[in-house]
Amino acid sequence: MTDLNCLLAGLTRLLGPLLLLIFWHKKTGARILPAPVALMVCFPVFIVAGAIRSGFDHSNYMSFYLQQALLYGIFEECSKFLVLRYLLTSYDDRKDAVTYGIGHCAFEDIGAGFACINLIGTDKAASDIFPVNVFSFVEGALFCIGVTVLIFYGIRMDKSRIMLPLAIFLHFLGNFTNAALIRPVSMALSLLITPVIGYAAYRCYKAMGTSSDYEI
């Protein structure tokens, strides 16, 4: 049963973003390209951020978690801003922001998915590995999509000076919560933070209207 849970957890993380992308495309007609672009952009971003993180002092774990959370918040959200603002200039529909967010969360789910599968046969997996990873996938996807929509809203409405720092702070807060706190506490806080981000993103999404209403 533990091995089955590892397999199901791994498949959830590996296939979840793809199924979500297919659903979003079929449901809204959204274009696909922003998702693979986001996935590819994540590779150099995480490599550089990882190299910088390797130089952090591990002797003070709280300081390390604070630095790590801020580092990835800056790198990930600024990379989203730069790509959406200067690279994907023709992808100016609000649906493209959701697609980009799905592609970004797919990168983070790949490692988690293979980590779950690698636990098969080791008897080292936690008994709740499957439900925890279902929760992590759903929460992570909502968080990543929501923050991406906030960044896109800032670009579209000329409010990036507000929305980009906000996105970085929210990413920092989410990363620090998940890294520094025990799982029950971090999950409880995620249940508070992510719905707020989702609601804010929904309001921004509705406010943007269609791509013909505004220009980047």
Domain range annotation of the chain: 2-208
Model pLDDT, residue 158: 95
- pTM of the complete model: 0.92
Model pLDDT, residue 1: 74
- List per-residue pLDDT tens for the chain, 216 residues long: 789 999 999 999 999 999 999 999 999 999 999 999 999 999 999 999 999 999 998 888 889 999 999 999 999 999 999 999 999 999 999 999 999 999 999 999 999 999 999 999 998 888 899 999 999 999 999 999 999 999 999 999 999 999 999 999 999 999 999 888 877 888 898 889 999 999 999 999 999 985 444 443
**In the structure encoding, which two tokens stand for residue 146, read together?**
């929501």
**In the structure encoding, which two tokens stand for residue 123, read together?**
């008897």
